[in-house]
Amino acid sequence: DGGITQSPKYLFRKEGQNVTLSCEQNLNHDAMYWYRQDPGQGLRLIYYSQIVNDFQKGDIAEGYSVSREKKESFPLTVTSAQKNPTAFYLCASSIVGLAEETQYFGPGTRLLVL
Amino acid sequence: DQQVKQNSPSLSVQEGRISILNCDYTNSMFDYFLWYKKYPAEGPTFLISISSIKDKNEDGRFTVFLNKSAKHLSLHIVPSQPGDSAVYFCAASSPEGGSEKLVFGKGTKLTVNP
């Protein structure tokens, strides 16, 4: 059963702490993405990666970091530099090379600051 | 500058009637449009898409219409069901931005009343 998994479902961060959100996909998709959703807002792109060991900044990359060591995995670290981390984080993936690509999303992780 | 706009934050309809969700865009280079449905605390689910070479795409109860001259698209749901109650996001991509740069609207919350 193919899909995208994100863990944990809820995550709590203390001041000055880095936290890492997991995203795994078994769809054999080349591209993976991280979005942030705030109440009443659309999805904003944080980082994306189209190939292993390569990634690009999205619109709101400051305070975040990523890695892409494996095709299946694209973890997101929310660093202490991110001053307003409370949000719903969504991971997505897609096939690269199609004229009309569709991104498919995981279930999300809600990050809360203690 | 918001390139994809969903001007109605919410919409309420009666079960069995038609739901019409609207989306406007400003970038004339957008050539692929998608609608996603999102339940609270879950990831968005891909619903239906349309390429700029078409003006209509239908999938069961869902039809998307594209008016390129007006830079407007709409999602019609007929007949509406209580299970359709969710937030609907419109998204668009362009060849210059690449499909990795989907631009999302802020969403419209649809409530279907029994």
Q: Say whether residue B102 is in contact with chain A using an 8 A CB cutoff.
A: yes
Which pLDDT score is estimated for A67?
Answer: 97
B106 and A40 in contact by Cβ < 8 A? yes
Of A41, A102, A105, the CB nearest to B106: A41
Q: What is the pLDDT of residues B17-69, one digit of tens each?
A: 999 999 999 999 899 999 999 998 899 999 999 999 999 999 999 999 999 99
Residue A113 pLDDT more than 90? no
Cα Dmax for chain A: 44
Which pLDDT score is estimated for A96?
Answer: 79
Q: Tell the burial category of B38 from Cβ atoms under 10 Å away from its Cβ (0-12, 13-18, 19+).
A: buried
Give the mean pLDDT of chain A: 91
Rounded to 5°, angle at Cα A48 from A73 and A74: 15
Which pLDDT score is estimated for B96?
Answer: 66
3-state helix, strand, coil in chain A (%, to 5): 0, 50, 50
Shortest alpha-carbon distance between residue A62 and chain B (Å)? 17
Residue B99 pLDDT more than 60? no
Shortest alpha-carbon distance between residue A87 and chain B (Å)? 11
Q: Which helix (H) or strand (E) holds B20?
A: strand B19-25
Q: Say whether residue B64 is in contact with chain A using an 8 A CB cutoff.
A: no
Lowest mean pLDDT across A1-10, A21-30, A72-81: A1-10
Written as six digits, the tokens of A24 are 């795994």
SS3 A15: coil
Residue A54 pLDDT more than 90? yes
Residue A73 pLDDT more than 60? yes
SS3 A112: strand
